[in-house]
Structure 1
Amino acid sequence: MTQRTSEQELYRFLEDRFACAQACTECARACALRVSLLDPDGSDGPERARRQGILCAEVCDTTCRMLSEQDCQDESGVRVQLEWCRAVCADSALAFGGRPGAQSTAEACRVCARACADFVALLD
C-alpha cells in the first residue's frame, strides 16, 4: 500500500467489506431457502441470485483478508483484487435488485462496489 493510504482509511474499507460479505451471505441463504421451498422447478432467478450471493461473499471475504495482511505490498495485486470485488459487487447489486426482500443487500453491494472504486482511486 502507498504511504498516502492512512490506517483509518484501510480500517473503514475493511469494515465496508465485512458488512457487504455479511449481507451477501445472508441473501444467499435466503435465496437458497426460496429455491428449495418456493421454487421446486428450479427456475433461474432465485438460483442466479443465490450463486451470485455466495460468490460476492467469498470475493468480499478474500479482499478483506488480502488487505488485512501486514506484508501486503503488491499494489498491482491489490488493484486487481479491488477491481474484481467491485465488478462482482456491481453484478450482485443487479442480481439482488429485483428480488423481494433483497433490496438492502443490493444496496450493500452497491456501496461495496463504490468503496472498492474509491479505494483504488486512493492508490493512484
Structure 2
Amino acid sequence: PLERTHPPRTGAGAAREETAMAQASAAPRTPSAPEDPWDRDRLVRYLEDRFACAASCRTAATLTARHCGTPAAEPAVLRALRCVEVCDSTARLLGAEPRLDPEDDELRFRLDWCRTTCLDCAAHCARLPGAEDAVAACRACAASCTRFLATLAAS
C-alpha cells in the first residue's frame, strides 16, 4: 500500500485516484525481456537445419553400417566404422536439447568433423558393390552438416 503524504481527497476525484492506484498495484509486472538476437525466421531455419542434419547423420550411420562394414571391403571398413561412430555421435548431440549443446566452437568442430568423415567414407565406399545407398547418405549428411554450419555462421 502507498502511504499518503497529503490529506485524503474526497468526492469523485478520490474515487478515481483509488481506482487508478488499485489497478496499478493489481497489474502484473513482467520484467522486460532482454533483446533476443534470434528473430523468428532465423530460429525456424536453425531448428529445421539442426533436425535435418541429425536425421541425415542417423541415416548415414545406419546405411554405412549396413552396406560398407563388410569384411570383404577391408580398406574401407575402418573408414566406414569411423563414419558410423562420428555420424551417430553427431546425431545424438543434435537430437539433444539445444541448451545442452557444447560451446559454439566445439559444435562447429563436430559438424565439420562429421562432414569431412562422411565425404571420406563416401569416396572409399563408392568402389564397393551395393554401397550406393550408403554413399548417397554420406554425401547427403555432408551437405546437411554444411548447411547447418552456414546457419550457425549467420547467427
Bin for the TM-score computed over the shorter chain: 0.7 to 0.9
Answering whether residue 149 of structure 2 is matched by residue 120 of structure 1, we say yes
Query: Is the 8 Å Cα contact of residues 20 and 60 (structure 1) preserved in structure 2?
Result: yes
Give the whole-Å Cα distance in 1 for the aligned partners of 2:150 and 2:43: 10
Partner of residue 57, structure 2: 17
Give the whole-Å Cα distance in 1 for the aligned partners of 2:43 and 2:147: 12
Partner of residue 75, structure 1: 104
What letter is aligned with 1:123? L
Partner of residue 109, structure 1: 138
Answering whether residue 83 of structure 2 is matched by residue 60 of structure 1, we say no
Q: CA deviation at 1:26?
A: 0.7
Query: Is the 8 Å Cα contact of residues 89 and 109 (structure 1) preserved in structure 2?
Result: yes
What letter is aligned with 2:68? A
Runs of 5+ consecutive residues of structure 2 not aligned to the other structure: 1-36
Q: Kindly report the root-mean-square deviation, in angstroms, between the aligned alpha carbons of the 2 structures.
A: 1.7
Q: CA distance change for structure 1 residues 120 and 5 in 2, over 3 Å: closer, same or farther? A: farther
Report the structure number with the largest CA radius of gyration.
2
TM-score by length of 1: 0.80
Q: Which has the higher helix share?
A: 1
Show CA shifts across 1:23-67 (max 9, x none): 1111234x22xx3xxxxxxxxxx2121111111010001111222
Give the whole-Å Cα distance in 2 for the aligned partners of 1:5 and 1:52: 34
Answering whether residue 37 of structure 2 is matched by residue 8 of structure 1, we say no
TM-score by length of 2: 0.65
Query: Is the 8 Å Cα contact of residues 27 and 50 (structure 1) preserved in structure 2?
Result: no
Give the whole-Å Cα distance in 1 for the aligned partners of 2:126 and 2:120: 10
Answering whether residue 99 of structure 2 is matched by residue 99 of structure 1, we say no
Q: CA deviation at 1:73?
A: 4.8
What letter is aligned with 1:61? D
Deviates more, 1:3-12 or 1:89-98: 3-12
Runs of 5+ consecutive residues of structure 1 not aligned to the other structure: 36-45
Give the whole-Å Cα distance in 2 for the aligned partners of 1:28 and 1:100: 9
Give the whole-Å Cα distance in 2 for the aligned partners of 1:12 and 1:78: 16
Q: CA deviation at 1:112?
A: 0.8
Equivalent residue pairs, number: 110
Query: Is the 8 Å Cα contact of residues 67 and 78 (structure 1) preserved in structure 2?
Result: no
